[in-house]
Amino acid sequence: MGTVVDAAIKDANGSLPSHKKVTVVFVLGGPGSGKGTQCANIVEHFGYTHLSAGDLLRAEIKSGSENGTMIQNMIKEGKIVPSEVTIRLLQRAIQESGNDKFLIDGFPRNEENRAAFESVTGIVPEFVLFFDCSEEEMERRLLSRNQGREDDNIDTIRKRFKVFLESSLPVIDYYDSKGKVRKIDATKPIEEVFETVKALFTPLSDKVI
């Protein structure tokens, strides 16, 4: 494990430069809760950069780098990619972006991710956007969208939902205790959900740092 982490650290130029003040919003919600759609709307209306931990890992694997090969081997062996590896990829994406406000989607996946992110980057999220959606509604959406994803069958959906509940709810509880969770009723139509989301982001976009 050390070698994977070391390679990722070497790859990502250390910690964030102190002069870069960034705003980070974590976006969490179960599979089919509509996170992707709403993130796209936030990017369009408020100028955030959308970072998906899963996309960054896939891009690193595709790049063929030494780090990407190690990540691919870990996934093949059914091992969990260490938090530090994902965090360094997120950190590098933040550093290389010309932006100073970010949506981090689908991360932290668990309490260990959360603690490691804050410790490594020194960044505490502005808030956590939690798309709350019933299991029945998420199942219905995932089965009806039929985007050719082989993981969208009923058993896999239920497993993914169970993993989300077990892993991510402790993160939501932690940030809730800090007054940082903004819970959105994601069962409503897309336009209504975005009206609620807009109300949360408008004060941030008006804020002068």
Is 107 marked as binding a ligand? yes
Is 62 marked as binding a ligand? no
Is 35 marked as binding a ligand? yes
Is 149 marked as binding a ligand? yes
User: Which amino acid, residue 192?
Assistant: E
Is 80 marked as binding a ligand? yes
Is 36 marked as binding a ligand? yes
Question: Treating both helix axes as pointing N-terminal to C-terminal, what angle do 66-76 and 2-11 enclose, rounded to 10 degrees?
Answer: 140
Is 106 marked as binding a ligand? yes
Edge to edge, what strands does the sheet with 49-52 contain? 49-52, 101-105, 23-29, 127-132, 181-185
Cis peptide before 108, with omega less than 30 degrees from 0?
yes
Is 188 marked as binding a ligand? yes
Q: Which residues contact 185 (CB under 8 A, 6 or more apart)?
A: 132, 193, 196
Is 158 marked as binding a ligand? no
Is 170 marked as binding a ligand? no
Q: What angle do CA 104, 171, 114 make, to 5 degrees?
A: 60
Question: Treating both helix axes as pointing N-terminal to C-terminal, what angle do 154-177 and 135-145 enclose, rounded to 10 degrees?
Answer: 130
Is 113 marked as binding a ligand? yes
Is 101 marked as binding a ligand? no
Residue 37 CA to residue 196 CA, distance in Å, equals: 14
Is 108 marked as binding a ligand? yes
Which residues contribute to the annotated binding site for a ribonucleoside 5'-phosphate? Answer: 58, 79-81, 106-109, 149, 160
Which residues contribute to the annotated binding site? Answer: 32-37, 58, 79-81, 106-109, 113, 145, 149, 160, 188
Which residues contribute to the annotated binding site for CMP? Answer: 113
Which residues contribute to the annotated binding site for ATP? Answer: 32-37, 145, 188
